[in-house]
A and B are shown apart, each in its own frame.
Chain A
Amino acid sequence: MSKQPTRTIKVDTLARVEGEGALYVKIKGDQVQDVKLKIYEPPRFFEAFLRGRHFSEVPDIVARICGICPIAYQMSAVHAIERALGVGIDPSVRLLRRLFYCGEWIESHTLHVYMLHAPDFLGYPDAIAMARDHQSIVQQGLRLKKAGNRIVALMGGREIHPVSAAVGGFYKTPSKSALKELVNELEWALDASLATARWVSGFDFPDFEQDYEFVSLSHPGEYPFNEGRIVSNRGLDIDASDYEENFTEQHVQHSNALHSVLRGHDSYMVGPMARFNLNFDKLPDVAQQAARDCGLQAPCRNPFRSIVVRAIELVFACYEALRVIREYEPPATSRAQTTARDSTAWAATEAPRGLLYHRYSLDQDGLITSAKIIPPTSQNQKRIEEDLWHFVSQIATRSSQEITWKCEQAVRNYDPCISCATHFLRLHLERD
């Protein structure tokens, strides 16, 4: 019997941005021997950094965790702290928070669909190379992202690391006329997002499905952003306060990041596919019809089709933003009064990449005594590795170059923060 050749595919230094990571795949013959996705999660440092800070500082501090989804961190933080303090928010503030989140989803999903993931499907090394051949498409993506930026800038005071979110509401709320100025562009954005869905649904998707446990928020009346119970397709149905009883983080030797697992169930998936599969009936008709037109049905179990799901969520976010603007009446007061008390509370909201869990304990002066933040990338990390195990098994006989390309594409299915870096990775291939 001939000796099976071993190939080791290493992707070193998934550097910068919101995390550090690397990818390692070892193949012997056509059998996968090992897969390791290593992520070093910066958000962990923030938990200690928050201790001793006043609760009112938390939204601005956690916004710095991520340059692309600061609103998600702000929303999970303010909801947890408001719960701790027993603060109720004005219905108009609740609407504005949905609008704020729409802006972030539009920014983040557009960036991923157009600039990070589409080049994989079209055979380009990056968006710049893609732009040479697809100018009008990239132009559409840039304008769509800018529509999201405009919402964030109006609501948050600036495009990056917004500063207006506060415990109890906002430091400043917009006028009706200021919101109405966004309408024309958002109407264009809704059409553009429908076109985006049609465009990406025509891509060539690998034939690859997995039996996932999907986890997301679920709200009885709306597609989830800030509120709802944490549910799964395998019977999980809990309040955020029970998160840590049901989920646990495991240390793995090859990574500084902890692997989140669902106790008794193991790995799970959060993010657009989980939301879509668990909340399809909460999408507005326009988004449901767009999904059907794209041949997308819930449950979707092919992670490569997550690009289509993101496009459907773009349709939703544009539609929802327009709905909020139509219904908005300025609140009587932009920010509810808060009184410090010794307390602990929890919240989970839906970041563009999936469920984002926060827990805070406060002392009687309102200072943070402990904080816990579990970002979606940490929750998906184990699932990404499992996808790679199964997917590489299907393509193990192909060239190392093609396997490397496909592995990176498979990682990007999840839009993890580390995917930010994957278009300029240094690749090392070792052969026996």
Chain B
Amino acid sequence: MALRIIGCGNFDRGDDAAGLLVVRHLRSLLVETLGVIPDLEITEQRGESFSSMDCLTNFDHVILVDATAPSGTPGQVQVWNAHADRLPEDIFPSSTHAFGVREAVELARAMNRLPQVLLIYGIEGKRFVLGAPLSPEVECAVASVAERLMTRVSDLLVKTSQRSRLAEMT
């Protein structure tokens, strides 16, 4: 399966913590229900966006979760398939030196380094002020995205298991 799930963000910037909280919540759910899963890696990225690009490599299937810029619907979740869509400009907060998730994905695309599957989950934030708490809308979205990813991981596990059994039979 070789799946990596990356949560991006900053715990000190209100809703910018969304991606990090999703992967932490997901990790708890997985431990409670499925235990340790081989070939699944869950990581956090907190600002070194060039490392985010590295995180996209060496895995077939990558899911990246980050907060998106406010546009009037806080907590709204959007999903982009990197192979089908270019990430919109000005929607993902940039990190140091104006290099953020969008730039990491587009740089990987330019260098033909996108994984086979790359999905980007964006959770629309409401407030990104230093020291602000998570907004209630984003808090709900964090739980919802973690559960969606949990379902996705479970489905992938089932498919992988079925393929393995099929391979053993043939």
Most chain B Cβ neighbours within 10 Å, of A68, A128, A146, A420:
A128
In the complex the two chains form, is B46's CB within 8 Å of A116's CB? no
In the complex the two chains form, is B48's CB within 8 Å of A160's CB? yes
Among B47, B48, B95, B97, which residue has its beta carbon within 8 angstroms of that of A115? Answer: B97
Question: What residues on A are CB-neighbors of B53 within 8 Å?
Answer: 142
In the complex the two chains form, is B95's CB within 8 Å of A67's CB? yes
Given A138-B107, A138-B111, A139-B111: A424 and B98 within 8 A (CB)? yes
Question: What residues on A are CB-neighbors of B99 within 8 Å?
Answer: 115
Closest residue of chain B to A68 (Cβ to Cβ) is: B96
Interface presence of B54 (CB below 8 A): yes
* Interface membership of chain A positions 212-248, coded 1 if the CB is closer than 8 angstroms to chain B and 0 otherwise: 0000000000000000000000000000000000000
Closest residue of chain A to B110 (Cβ to Cβ) is: A131
Cα separation A399 to B54 with both chains bound (whole Å):
40
Given A139-B111, A146-B54, A160-B46: A420 and B96 within 8 A (CB)? yes
In the complex the two chains form, is A131's CB within 8 Å of B96's CB? no
Distance in Å: Cβ of B50 to nearest Cβ of chain A: 6
Distance in Å: Cβ of B16 to nearest Cβ of chain A: 13
Question: What residues on B are CB-neighbors of A161 within 8 Å?
Answer: 47
In the complex the two chains form, is B51's CB within 8 Å of A111's CB? no
Question: What residues on A are CB-neighbors of B78 within 8 Å?
Answer: none
Interface presence of A320 (CB below 8 A): no
Question: What residues on A are CB-neighbors of B110 within 8 Å?
Answer: 128-129, 131-132, 135, 138
Question: What residues on B are CB-neighbors of A116 within 8 Å?
Answer: 97
Closest residue of chain B to A424 (Cβ to Cβ) is: B98
Interface presence of A149 (CB below 8 A): yes
Cα separation A50 to B72 with both chains bound (whole Å):
36
Within 8 A of B (CB), among A381-427: 420-421, 423-424
Question: What residues on B are CB-neighbors of A129 within 8 Å?
Answer: 110
Question: What residues on B are CB-neighbors of A16 within 8 Å?
Answer: 94, 98
Interface presence of A336 (CB below 8 A): no
Distance in Å: Cβ of B155 to nearest Cβ of chain A: 33
Interface presence of A179 (CB below 8 A): no
Distance in Å: Cβ of A394 to nearest Cβ of chain B: 29
Interface presence of A159 (CB below 8 A): yes
Cα separation A116 to B99 with both chains bound (whole Å):
11
Given A67-B47, A145-B50: A420 and B107 within 8 A (CB)? no
Interface size on B, residues (CB 8 A): 19
Question: What residues on A are CB-neighbors of B96 within 8 Å?
Answer: 17, 67-68, 160, 420
Question: What residues on B are CB-neighbors of A421 within 8 Å?
Answer: 98
Question: What residues on B are CB-neighbors of A374 within 8 Å?
Answer: none
* Interface membership of chain B positions 73-111, coded 1 if the CB is closer than 8 angstroms to chain A and 0 otherwise: 000000000000000000000111111000100110011
In the complex the two chains form, is B107's CB within 8 Å of A128's CB? yes
Distance in Å: Cβ of B110 to nearest Cβ of chain A: 4
Given A149-B51, A160-B46: A127 and B107 within 8 A (CB)? yes
Distance in Å: Cβ of A5 to nearest Cβ of chain B: 33
Cα separation A17 to B98 with both chains bound (whole Å):
7
In the complex the two chains form, is B50's CB within 8 Å of A146's CB? yes
Question: What residues on B are CB-neighbors of A159 within 8 Å?
Answer: 48, 51
Question: What residues on B are CB-neighbors of A423 within 8 Å?
Answer: 98
Cα separation A84 to B95 with both chains bound (whole Å):
35
Most chain A Cβ neighbours within 10 Å, of B53, B111, B112:
B111
In the complex the two chains form, is A68's CB within 8 Å of B97's CB? yes
Distance in Å: Cβ of B128 to nearest Cβ of chain A: 11
Cα separation A149 to B107 with both chains bound (whole Å):
19
Distance in Å: Cβ of B77 to nearest Cβ of chain A: 25
Question: What residues on A are CB-neighbors of B54 within 8 Å?
Answer: 142, 146
Most chain A Cβ neighbours within 10 Å, of B94, B95, B110:
B110
Distance in Å: Cβ of B90 to nearest Cβ of chain A: 9
Closest residue of chain A to B54 (Cβ to Cβ) is: A146
Cα separation A190 to B48 with both chains bound (whole Å):
23
In the complex the two chains form, is A131's CB within 8 Å of B107's CB? yes
Given A128-B107, A135-B111, A138-B111: A149 and B98 within 8 A (CB)? no
Question: What residues on A are CB-neighbors of B46 within 8 Å?
Answer: 160
Distance in Å: Cβ of B45 to nearest Cβ of chain A: 10
In the complex the two chains form, is B112's CB within 8 Å of A135's CB? yes
Closest residue of chain B to A423 (Cβ to Cβ) is: B98
Cα separation A13 to B98 with both chains bound (whole Å):
13
Given A128-B106, A128-B110, A131-B110: A420 and B97 within 8 A (CB)? yes
In the complex the two chains form, is B111's CB within 8 Å of A420's CB? no
Distance in Å: Cβ of A109 to nearest Cβ of chain B: 13
Cα separation A145 to B53 with both chains bound (whole Å):
12
Distance in Å: Cβ of B96 to nearest Cβ of chain A: 3
Question: B residues engaging A (CB < 8 A)?
Answer: 46-48, 50-51, 53-54, 94-99, 103, 106-107, 110-112
5 A-B pairs closest in CB distance: A67-B96, A131-B110, A420-B97, A160-B47, A159-B48
8 pairs of residues in contact across A and B, judged by CB atoms under 8 Å: A16-B98, A68-B97, A139-B111, A146-B54, A149-B48, A149-B50, A160-B96, A421-B98
